[in-house]
């Protein structure tokens, strides 16, 4: 190969690298619990992101080359920004019998707005928030819209893409003591059978799949995934087609910030 040909090929390769779109960097807040572990596994191992950063309370090494821990502590306002373009926020508490999860940082619901402001400083333009709610108690009026002032303030922050995923919480096992308390809890537990299937919690693996698919297709604007939509996507059909139909549907409310 001549020097001239080699130089031309090198210049062509550099041009391809320069013009190729760069993959976004991801921040995960609340990579705890079964859901957090599923979301981390699917997104970090999917090849869609250049790097995944997980918020942690203490120094911690990652066994995956494409995943690193970002140690955070103290007031959110004082956190140092780290470069990222996409973020997923979850609130599921850590499983205390997992040492690794006890070192991860999980936000409290009241920290959502300060956290979102920090993510904006990091350069995040696409944000997914998994919003837990009590199964069977979500009013129809807010299943597909903004539920409170915090969500309205979040939508007004100017994220290019914002997705609120309304996921029903699993009812925690009660440790009631005494015959009367146990009987009362049993009677209350029977009411769960009266809740429609579409209001029941979706399996974490299916919820993580929905989030991954939505991130691939999500257009500009603010979008709210209702509990019924999550069940439709998880109910054995083609989740890609369900998400595509939802995003293209004229009946879906897209509230652009």
**Domain count for the chain:** 1
Indicate whether 133 belongs to any domain.
yes
Residue 81 domain boundaries: 21-248
Mean pLDDT of 11-39: 76
pLDDT of residue 180: 65
Indicate whether 111 belongs to any domain.
yes
Indicate whether 87 belongs to any domain.
yes
Q: Which residues of 73-98 are buried (b: 16+ CB within 10 A; e: fewer)?
A: eeeeeebeebebbbbbbbbbebeeee
pLDDT of residue 9: 52
pLDDT of residue 47: 86
Q: Quote the pTM value.
A: 0.77
User: Which tokens belong to 27?
Assistant: 């921040």
Segment 145-201, tens digit of pLDDT: 566 788 899 999 999 999 999 887 665 544 555 666 666 555 545 445 455 555 556
Mean pLDDT of 66-89: 93
Alpha carbons 85 and 76: distance in angstroms, whole number:
19
Indicate whether 10 belongs to any domain.
no
Indicate whether 170 belongs to any domain.
yes
Alpha carbons 248 and 165: distance in angstroms, whole number:
17
Indicate whether 9 belongs to any domain.
no
Segment 99-132, tens digit of pLDDT: 788 899 999 989 999 999 999 999 999 999 998 8
Alpha carbons 91 and 106: distance in angstroms, whole number:
6
What is the domain-level CATH number for residue 178? 3.40.50.720
């Amino acid at each position: 190969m001549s020097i001239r040909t080699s130089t031309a090929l090198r210049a062509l390769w550099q041009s391809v690298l320069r013009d190729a779109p760069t993959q976004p960097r991801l921040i995960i807040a609340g990579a705890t619990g079964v859901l957090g572990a599923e979301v981390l596994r699917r997104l970090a191992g999917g090849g869609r992101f250049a790097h995944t950063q997980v918020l942690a309370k203490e120094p911690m090494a990652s066994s995956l080359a494409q995943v690193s821990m970002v140690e955070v502590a103290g007031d959110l306002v004082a956190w140092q920004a780290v470069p990222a373009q996409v973020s997923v926020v979850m609130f599921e508490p850590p499983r205390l019998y997992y040492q690794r999860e006890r070192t991860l940082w999980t936000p409290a619901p009241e920290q959502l707005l300060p956290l979102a402001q920090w993510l904006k400083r990091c350069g995040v333009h696409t944000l997914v928030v998994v919003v837990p709610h009590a199964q069977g108690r979500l009013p129809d009026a807010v299943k597909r819209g903004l539920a409170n002032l915090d969500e309205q303030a979040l939508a007004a922050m100017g994220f290019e893409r914002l997705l609120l995923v309304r996921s029903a919480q699993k009812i925690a096992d009660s440790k009631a003591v005494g015959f009367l308390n146990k009987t009362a809890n049993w009677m209350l537990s029977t009411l769960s059978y009266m809740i429609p299937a579409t209001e029941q919690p979706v399996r974490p693996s299916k919820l993580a799949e929905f989030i991954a698919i939505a991130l691939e297709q999500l257009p500009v604007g603010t979008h709210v995934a209702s509990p019924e939509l999550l069940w439709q996507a998880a109910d054995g059909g083609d989740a890609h087609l369900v998400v595509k139909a939802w995003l293209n549907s004229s009946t879906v409310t897209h509230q652009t910030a």
